[in-house]
Amino acid sequence: MTTIQMIIMGTIILYLCMVIFTGVMIGRRSKKSSEGFYLGGRGMGPLVTAMSAEASDMSSYLLMGIPGLAYLSGVADASWTAIGLVTGTYLNFLLVARRLRRYSVHLDAITIPSFISKRYGEKKPVIMGISAVIILVFFVPYVASGLAAIGKLFNSLFGWDYMVAVIIGAIVIISYTSVGGFSAVATMDLIQSIIMTIALAIIVVFGVVQAGGMGAVLEHARSLPGFLHFDQTYNAATGSAEPYGFIRIVSMLAWGLGYFGMPHILVRFMAIRHEDELKLSRRIAASWVVISMAVAVFIGIVGHAVSAAGRIPSLEGSATETVIVRLSDLLSSYGILPAVVAGCILAGILAATMSTADSQLLAAASAFSENVLQDLLGVKLTPKQNMLAARLTVVVIAFIAIFLAADPNSNVFKIVSFAWAGFGATFGPAMLCALFWRRSNRQGIMAGLVVGGVMIFVWKFLVAPMGGIFNIYELLPAFLCALCAIVVVSLLTPAPEKEITDMFDSYNT
């Protein structure tokens, strides 16, 4: 290992130690209760709420996926995806946040499954059970994809054994998540979002300089057919432009629908200190996501120009996702201080992955310990036993995720895409109807959850392979089918009890 590699590794290890220390310190001060462990005692400020929501959302997609898409084929793919994500973020804060915060406090709900169940006055926890199963089915492999990304990062940078890197990443995440709970996770999300922001800023400035200036970057991009078009993409294999059709645009925009059903993001709204602070939180989140997404797309454009200038290797296929890693390697070659900065940038990629994995791990743990173990199975626990069960659940789910992440050749993006669709198509329609449709009932919500979950698999593996107009992101058709199921079944079955509709009227003003 070279001196430069040792400096980079030392910087990353220092970051990991800081993460563990901060999480443990916060854990000592947090409330020793289920609400304290899973929602931070509903005491999060607007800044922490906003940045925790965004950091837990973006994962490594912000620093690897979006730049990689832009590098590979130009602005169309990356930009339409970014537009969908930005729109979804804003609408989620605007439409869902306030009502969910108000309603969940009244119902004393600390998880999304418990909120939906209590919203419809369930006497038998059927909705809660279905919801918990959905969370476990989609979140455990989602966490595994994050651990796989950590393993691949350390393996490519330092030649570490893939599984050793996966296990180390899991241990770090377990340490502060199991000890500090939501408060530690939310605070670390804020810190990690700052690191991600700094990484984006440094790498884009450095990249422009290495490409020969802004003029050189734009001149190179214009020389590639379709590279700067929103209705065309650049095909590197043929060196020509290809049409970017309506179906692909709709598929990319459909990513925004997923926000309405993301449990690890929605609980941020439930955890904020006062609902009046959500307006400021929305502005912070929207501003950050717009700027960070725009910079991420631009990094892909800059990276292509740097490759053309011969400063970094030309990247193809999945290797395009490492454009920031390659630029960091180039930065580290300029000496000790640049190597430290490069280490901070790579820590930013690690932070992006960890900030999502920790939130997902906590959401999956809450679904099992709160909703399956206690609500569904009826296991009675004292507050002390409850906290022990919560922490043990975090550890067990993490170890299952390690097992699922054992394949170093797994496609991280495909796993993330499928899990995102799964949550969006199941919880998305259910949450919107629970918050906005007075006539929706238990039977309709159950139908929507089941139809949404089933249609994700049906469309992905049976319908989409037919091609043509059917080759659309499975989230959109599954979301629409689930929404239709809720509406039809709710209208065909008895209206909800007066007590439930009165409560809806009281808390949806």
Q: Domain of 164: which CATH number? A: 1.20.1730.10
DSSP bridge pairs for 241: 234
DSSP class of residue 334 equals T
In this structure, is residue 434 part of a structural domain?
A: no
In this structure, is residue 429 part of a structural domain?
A: no
Burial class, 207, CB count within 10 angstroms (exposed 0-12 / middle 13-18 / buried 19+): buried
User: Of 84, 96, 142, 149, which is closest to residue 289 (Cα–Cα)?
Assistant: 84
CB atoms within 10 A of CB 385: 11
> 176, 20 in Cβ contact below 8 A?
yes
In this structure, is residue 46 part of a structural domain?
A: yes
> 238, 7 in Cβ contact below 8 A?
no
Amino acid 52 reads S
In this structure, is residue 446 part of a structural domain?
A: no
pLDDT, tens digit (0-9, with 9 covering 90-100), for 127-186: 988 998 898 888 888 888 888 888 888 887 788 888 999 999 899 888 888 777 888 888
The mean per-residue pLDDT over the stretch 4-22 comes to 87
Give me 160's structure tokens: 């570490």
Instruction: Quote the mean pLDDT of the chain.
Output: 89
Q: How many domains does the chain have?
A: 1
pLDDT, tens digit (0-9, with 9 covering 90-100), for 179-211: 778 888 888 888 888 888 888 899 999 999 999
Rounded Cα gap, residues 138 and 107, in angstroms: 26
In this structure, is residue 273 part of a structural domain?
A: yes
pLDDT, tens digit (0-9, with 9 covering 90-100), for 429-463: 999 999 999 999 999 999 999 999 999 999 999 99
If phi > 0 it is left, if psi is from -120 to 50 it is alpha, else beta; for residue 42 that is: left
Residue 455 pLDDT = 97
Parent domain of 334: 3-411
In this structure, is residue 453 part of a structural domain?
A: no
pLDDT, tens digit (0-9, with 9 covering 90-100), for 314-368: 998 878 888 998 999 999 999 899 999 999 888 888 887 888 888 888 888 888 8
Confidence of residue 370 (pLDDT cuts 50, 70, 90): confident
In this structure, is residue 448 part of a structural domain?
A: no
Q: What are phi and psi of 484, to 5 degrees?
A: -65, -40
User: Of 131, 49, 199, which is closest to residue 367 (Cα–Cα)?
Assistant: 131
In this structure, is residue 509 part of a structural domain?
A: no
The mean per-residue pLDDT over the stretch 492-507 comes to 91
Segment holding 136, helix H or strand E: helix 126-158
The mean per-residue pLDDT over the stretch 200-229 comes to 95
> 440, 496 in Cβ contact below 8 A?
yes
pLDDT, tens digit (0-9, with 9 covering 90-100), for 269-299: 999 999 999 999 999 999 999 999 999 999 9
> 438, 444 in Cβ contact below 8 A?
no
**Is 70 exceeded by the pLDDT of residue 83?**
yes
